[in-house]
Amino acid sequence: MKPNFICVGAQKSGTTTLHDILQQHYDIYLPKQKETKFFKNDFHKGLEFYVNEYFDEVTNEKIIGEIDPEYMFYEDVPKKIYDLLGIDIKIIFLLRNPMTRAYSHYLMSKRRGYDRLSFEEAISTEEQRINQGDFEKNHLSYKTRGLYYQQISRYLKYFSHENMKVVLFEEFIKNPKELIKEILDFLGVNRNVPLNYNQKSNKAIAPKSTFLWSLIYRKEFFPRIKIILKKLIPFPEIRTMIVKIIEKHNFKEIPGEHINKETFCELSLYYKEDILKLEGLIKRDLSYWLDFDKI
């Protein structure tokens, strides 16, 4: 059975927490491997590969889908989803204040060794850098990923408002139980199932061993390590599990960092028009996104 829902992002907006909660529901099937990247990297392999690779263990679940924040950002993904899964698929968007999202994304890339510039230097040179290749577009697109109106509009070319659900990250963090119940209603499954809502996924971390960290994340090493792992371990869910085990033992949690006011105000000018258009599109007041004192 092919998927009937997808959460497409945004990145650094709570998608891992959402995954960890939804996978507890008896009527929802999610792949063991979060972020299959199928519609970004493997679409050419077709529906049979997609279903067999990620959904072969589906039994009696009513709702089948995946959560991958790459899908919101890449321009050609909405049409691919439409072509493969049809017009009736349900789509969830998790949206976070684009300024704090951009900074959180930067911190993740910096800790993984992908970026050595300051945040201010990174956003001022972003346009040139993300045009250098897919690696740069994927990992250094701090500002561009926050243009939510543009990205949701691409989905509206193929899917109706009725089949799209927008969840605001700030509300999700404050009241996860109520927001999850709204999502369950949207998906059409029992909202009264007992779930553990106390999921703290993707905490800020730093490496204990820089050598192990380099093997997993450094641009120079990771492609070769990935090729070797694919040959030795053909199952993606096992590869993912191994990386998580290494991360668990090699990384330590660190205090969160916050964007400074001057940079926040600069970015708010960049995003203001997109945010105003988004307010009209989703019929929500997003003025607090532009207020530094409310982050």
Full DSSP string of 184-195: HHHHTS-TTS--
How far apart CA 269 and CA 158 sit, in angstroms, is 30
What confidence score (pLDDT) does residue 140 get? 98
Tokens of 110: 């910096």
Tell me, what's the pLDDT at 222? 60
Point out the residues of the chain with pLDDT beneath 70.
Answer: 200-211, 213-226, 247-249, 251-256
Comparing C-alpha atoms, which of 112, 136, 43 is closest to residue 122?
Answer: 136
List the structure tokens of 173: 């963090």
Do 184 and 25 contact (CB within 8 A), yes or no?
A: yes
Task: Detail the DSSP E strand segments found in 106-217.
Answer: 164-168, 205-207
Can you give the pTM of this predicted structure?
A: 0.86
Beta strands in 128-230 (DSSP E): 164-168, 205-207
Written as one letter, the residue type at 226 is: K
Determine the pLDDT at residue 107.
93
Peptide bond into 204 cis (omega under 30): no
| Antiparallel, parallel or unpaired: β 90-95 and 5-9 | parallel
- Please, are residues 54 and 31 in contact by the beta-carbon 8 Å criterion? yes
Beta-sheet pairing, 90-95 with 63-67? unpaired
**Burial grade of 276 (CB within 10 A; 0-12, 13-18, 19 or more):** middle
Domains, in order of start, for the chain? 5-202+260-294 (3.40.50.300), 205-254 (no CATH)
Distances (CA, A) of 97 to 5, 169, 281: 24, 8, 16
